[in-house]
């Protein structure tokens, strides 16, 4: 990419008008969005968090594609029950994790990604089959409290 000079006396025919620096910045920003760097934190119950980094093209990356990338990156083949959220800002400017539930949510995440990368969080939810206490099967979102070998279901 050629450098653009803002001096009008050096501009020859075919050169961009003065103020080309702003145009060059806009072009550079557009090129920057061709690839989005992503940093992911996987959270699973009491296990220490795991991190992965990669880059995606936001023009061709759908939520379904991102889910498959995350399944492969964290070896989640048997764990289909997980949620994805991205670090954004609320109306007051505070950082908050917002859920990614659709391709539209993902487009917003790409557009408002905190520089220098989009920060994602993957929350692994336990499956119902794992949550068994004795002869009782505990279903989510019920909470179980084990006291002296007995299971009390709190609703």
Cα 131 from Cα 95, distance rounded (Å): 33
Domains of the chain, earliest start first: 32-124 (3.10.20.90), 128-155 (no CATH)
Residues 17, 31, 100, CA angle at the centre, nearest 5°?
Answer: 135
Spell out the per-residue pLDDT of the chain, length 155, in tens.
Answer: 444 444 444 444 444 444 455 444 434 444 456 899 999 999 998 899 999 999 999 999 999 999 999 999 999 887 668 999 999 988 998 999 999 999 999 999 999 876 789 999 999 987 655 455 444 555 544 444 443 344 444 43
pLDDT at position 116 is 83
**Cα-based distances in Å from 88 to 63, 72, 105, 110, 117:** 17, 25, 11, 10, 12
């Amino acid at each position: 990419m050629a450098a653009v000079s803002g001096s009008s006396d050096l501009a020859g025919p075919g050169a961009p008008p003065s103020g080309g620096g702003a145009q060059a910045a806009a072009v550079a920003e557009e090129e920057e969005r061709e690839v989005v760097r992503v940093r992911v934190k996987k959270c699973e119950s009491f296990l220490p968090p795991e991190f992965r980094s990669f880059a995606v093209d936001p023009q061709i990356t759908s939520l379904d594609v991102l889910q498959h990338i995350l399944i492969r990156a964290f070896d989640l083949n048997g764990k289909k029950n997980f949620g994805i959220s991205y670090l954004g800002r609320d109306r007051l400017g505070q950082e908050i994790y917002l859920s990614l539930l659709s391709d539209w949510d993902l487009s917003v995440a790409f557009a408002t990604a905190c520089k220098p990368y989009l920060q994602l969080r993957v929350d692994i939810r336990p499956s119902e089959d794992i949550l068994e206490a004795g002869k009782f099967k505990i279903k989510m979102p019920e909470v179980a409290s084990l006291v002296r070998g007995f299971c009390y279901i709190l609703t």
